[in-house]
Chains A and B, each alone.
Chain A
């Protein structure tokens, strides 16, 4: 890792072709290029359009319920015995996670495109629910692709999507998880590109998706920055967020990237432990490659085949990571670390008991690392941990680990 010598204008990335350094880009079959060009052109225009921004801000305030609080977790802080831990409460958003920031934004783009059908991929079902939600609100047809394994593991979210009027399509190919759902959504899009808008759920996929998903989620960091100054009179010393594809993390980090004093930690899923190979931590134990339309770090074998990942949290169980994170990793601006399954589960219980907040298992990875980090820092320092979602969807998983049938 080489630290850049002169300050980087982080807002200038990606470049016109969607590259973050050597990462990102557009690696898709030719059929999709015109749709991506169209989306990019529309987004560039609307991004700076006052009416569009006003509509987005209105929806965030009155439909999602923003701003989300920045909450000082006093008993959690006490248990770590170091820096103050502040929780950015994305769990309080409508539908229970940060995912809705993005789907509200992309739904507005879908509306502008005039397309009457939206599709999405989902792993844990949070993005699928957030997509089905905005589709119901706008009266759009909605199909959600979900790996057959995840359909089994996440049945409450499957039913939620169906209640919202979405068609949930189980994907039987490959490893039957999130990456295969994304392949299938791409195939649907290639086939129905004239009337279908693809709402990608994280900062992955071909350009311009990593950029627009980041921009829609950056409301997290913009609020956190303002709230930090208001509530403790300075910028935080450190930010912590979990990284699956990386949308909640980049949403928190991006508005702070130019603030050199703010350290940042992206927490990947350590699964059974990095040394076991059974994890979902491509930035810690992967190599650069090409998947799902962009160049980024991947978990793959010696022949370049994508390998299966392991995490107790379905939302982090993905072999790739957004290309902007790959770049931030290589230039050393963000530290990417891991929390293992058991550490995340312990943090899940700690937060629940100390603060009366049941976190998503994904977010529990960030809490786990935040606790460790706080212990190494001084009491006059401040850490913001992104609580990306609430844990209602995960109580069955945790109960099963406890040997209890709910």
Chain B
């Protein structure tokens, strides 16, 4: 067993549990809206009520993303964002925020290029708390998992409506930090949320793990965030934030827009 409180993610969920509150997990793409604005946007997410930040690492071929987040990745790549840059931005964020957990969410190839061990070292050094690698399912995740565990970094796994009970058992053995339940069959930003299915599947997952369960994909506003987290421990929101950054004329406007969206979700979750 990993020691519970050596990691910001664990500390944050312990605190939320003791307060009886749900987690609000927010996702933006590093570099989207300008490399110089990313750290400010992260602080704004926290100020408006985000408990945990998933910082998206842009990739040329983001296979699991819908059109909105794909465009976010393309805009970030135009800004020359990269895994290395993400780690720098994270370090800068950390210099002013010692508490808020941050995980890097992205695809396997940039990590493969840097080298898994170098990545795990750099993530630790930058003040990161974990990683979520979309195209690294349990059967391929072993080596990275060991490297992250050895550094008290958490490895966040996805579970989906199509994951069998047998796999849930296998994946939750590897998982740490929290479990990310993908609410639907589809890509990010899809719209066909089915709350009954979310409830049934969360119950299925609960049989296998005590880790916090956060629900993502298809969450657009306070009402949907509240609805999906009723049976879980939190909600993950991405596409609406990335769309807001994309639609904003400059960094200040982006800050205002995402601040408003997150504040509305926070009050719905706490209300």
Contact = CB atoms under 8 A, between A and B. Distances in A.
B60 A27 contact: no
Contact of A30 (B74, B77, B137, B187): B137
Q: How large is the interface on A (under 10, 10 to 19, 20 to 34, 35 or more residues)?
A: 35 or more
A30 B156 CA distance: 12
A79 interface: no
B83 interface: yes
20 contacts: A28-B137, A30-B171, A31-B182, A31-B186, A173-B67, A174-B61, A180-B61, A190-B64, A190-B187, A191-B185, A191-B190, A194-B185, A289-B112, A290-B112, A293-B135, A298-B109, A302-B113, A303-B82, A305-B77, A307-B60
B208 to A, nearest CB: 15
Interface string A192-225: 1110000000000000000000000000000000
A292 B59 CA distance: 13
A172 to B, nearest CB: 9
A187 B84 contact: no
A33 interface: yes
Contact of A27 (B59, B62, B135, B161): B135
Contacts of A28: 63, 135, 137
B164 interface: yes
Given A33-B137, A174-B60, A194-B185, A304 B109 contact: yes
Contacts of B111: 304
Interface of A: 17, 25-35, 173-174, 179-180, 183, 186-187, 190-194, 287-293, 295, 298, 300, 302-307
Nearest to A293: B135
A316 B70 CA distance: 25
B185 A303 contact: no
Most chain B CB inside 10 Å of its own CB: which residue of A173, A193, A288, A305: A305
B162 interface: yes
Contacts of A17: 139
Interface in B45-99: 59-67, 70, 74, 77, 82-84
A187 B66 contact: yes
Contact of B83 (A30, A33, A186, A304): A304
Interface in B141-173: 157-164, 167, 171
A191 B186 contact: yes
A193 B110 CA distance: 27
Nearest to A194: B185
Contacts of A291: 61, 109
B197 to A, nearest CB: 13
B185 A31 contact: yes
Most chain A CB inside 10 Å of its own CB: which residue of B61, B66, B187: B61
Contacts of A179: 61
A289 B113 contact: yes
B136 interface: yes
Contacts of B16: none
Contacts of B139: 17, 25-26
Contacts of A173: 67, 70, 74
Given A26-B137, A29-B134, A174-B74, A303 B186 contact: no
Given A29-B137, A303-B84, A290 B185 contact: no
Contact of B63 (A29, A30, A34, A298): A29
